[in-house]
Structure 1
């Protein structure tokens, strides 16, 4: 879908600003947001409160409050095991929290299954791509369209009910394949694509649902460097169309390049928020990635102090073993 360049009509008969203008206004609005975990946003599309997910005795996610601003690109970063993907799964209905509430465009998502979340306009991709290997590229694209009349058991038997819609979906799919430089692979099996091409296909297929929020889980993981710039450009174009993007990524160069706002998780909690240049210099972020003693000279005295602190934490967690 090309970016909007003309004003669009509103329900009241007036005109709305182009998507690119609305996106610029959304980014500008972030200038007044506090650079603290759980900061309130002027126009949040997602609001999560008190989200906790435990696996046995391990707390994987413990997010007190988080808001995602509409119309901007937000990066979710943190060390391995910080709970980023688990948090993605909770927001999109692929997993259930032990407690907490969250909403999309003001509508509560508690107990809403993943397929309904996607139909509402909140679509995600996966770190390990979920392309349908034995279907062709164009067939994978058609699968991504929503509200298809031919999916019903009875209506599937009457081609005249759904043939026109399928043709429209195919036209839309071909336009997206052209945009994502996959049109030459149209009739190839998806399983024959490279890792980077599968990432492009999954992102293109997500747009078949015309989502308002696109959630990308490590879009650069395993991608050929030659395709990285193409992926970066596509993510930026989503914002210029007026969509909201939330992505998980370890590539800090990508985070600095395309994100308007950065949320940092460590040990399941949100430890920092703010613009990229602010977050990257935040001591809490440096500690989360490198450890709180990363900048100390590990002399014998300092090493003994660190070991003593670690032993004290172990003794506090298992007092029965110290008796």
Structure 2
């Protein structure tokens, strides 16, 4: 059995309770909290992300999803909490060191360097470049072979993500979807074990959505772990193996996409616990889809 199917098989007996224990977690976090003034944006008692699977992190606007991403990746500092990646603590570790350990992320608003070409953006994604060091930079013989290898790897990824025709174009000339692809390709330059995608479908036209879906699935199929924030429920249903639901900074439900869609805790998180009549499973799923559509519409 390959690595990705082993990871998915391990989820079979996991309960659908918030903070459920996983058989092979890559990330484990405890008591992670972050407040902004009087607002507690994140208040997660326990979190585990299974290795080798695609996990979706969903919830209403303001649920704390992106703030949790920022905390886990070192872009923000929590008020309390500890978490580990591959068994090694990450609390207080700078964002660039988190990336070097194999945990990289993309952003809802892409962070490409618009005045550099596509290939230059890709080269910047590689770590440990000898040509960037003060003492070796003047001596090309010390770093030229490494740069050639970095360029070769970058070109392979550009072909994989169908951006090779844009190689010499300025990144600022790319469409929103192409920028998402470039950011994902650049993240792979460090050969990460975990890739965290913040709303990969935001601003992407329908023609590129299917391509992006395929690329996300391919990351898992080659043994990587994917954690993504998304409002596009078609994507969540289509590619995620596990779904974690946040509301008001807390994890309120977990489970497979099918079980989460029919979970009353999830319905309440989006619409409020004010239902006066019993709903069938199909009714609940229809309400959930309608709520998701409204949320997606407000973000656009």
Q: TM over 0.5, yes or no?
A: yes
Structure 1 outlier segments of 4+, above 4 Å: 294-297
Distance 1:160 1:72 in 2: 42
1:293 positional shift:
2.0
Distance 1:57 1:235 in 2: 37
Distance 2:126 2:243 in 1: 31
1:235 positional shift:
0.1
Question: Residue 12 of structure 2 aligns to a residue in which SS?
Answer: helix
Q: Which residue of 2 aligns with 1:149?
A: 130
Q: Which residue of 1 aligns with 2:254?
A: 273
Is 2:160 the partner of 1:172? no
Is 2:267 the partner of 1:262? no
Distance 2:128 2:139 in 1: 16
Q: How does 1:276-287 map to 2 (within 5 A)?
A: 276-287=257-268
Distance 2:100 2:122 in 1: 16
Q: Which residue of 2 aligns with 1:216?
A: 197
Q: Which residue of 2 aligns with 1:26?
A: 7
Q: Which residue of 2 aligns with 1:82?
A: 63
Residue 142 to residue 292, structure 1, CA distance change in 2 (3 Å): same
Q: Which residue of 1 aligns with 2:186?
A: 205
1:223 positional shift:
0.2
Q: Which residue of 2 aligns with 1:307?
A: none
Structure 1 segments unaligned to the other structure (5+ residues): 1-16, 298-323
Is 2:266 the partner of 1:288? no
Distance 2:207 2:238 in 1: 17
Q: Which residue of 1 aligns with 2:290?
A: none
Distance 1:27 1:147 in 2: 33
Q: Which residue of 1 aligns with 2:35?
A: 54
Larger Rg: 1
Of 140, 153, 157, the residue aligned with 2:121 is 140
RMSD of equivalent CA atoms = 1.1
Of 94, 101, 115, the residue aligned with 1:120 is 101
Structure 2 segments unaligned to the other structure (5+ residues): 279-300
Q: Which residue of 2 aligns with 1:8?
A: none
Q: Which residue of 2 aligns with 1:3?
A: none
Residue 278 to residue 174, structure 1, CA distance change in 2 (3 Å): same
Q: Which residue of 2 aligns with 1:65?
A: 46
Distance 1:280 1:33 in 2: 17
Q: Alpha-carbon deviations, 1:141-172, whole Å to 9, x = none?
A: 00000111111111111111110011001010
Q: Which residue of 2 aligns with 1:243?
A: 224
Question: Residue 10 of structure 2 aligns to a residue in which SS?
Answer: helix
Q: Which residue of 2 aligns with 1:226?
A: 207
Q: Alpha-carbon deviations, 1:213-261, whole Å to 9, x = none?
A: 0000000000011000000000000000000000000000100000000
1:296 positional shift:
5.9
Compute the TM-score of the two structures, normalised by the length of structure 1: 0.85
Question: Residue 71 of structure 1 aligns to a residue in which SS?
Answer: coil
1:35 positional shift:
0.8
Question: Residue 131 of structure 2 aligns to a residue in which SS?
Answer: helix
Distance 2:29 2:114 in 1: 35
Question: Residue 232 of structure 1 aligns to a residue in which SS?
Answer: helix
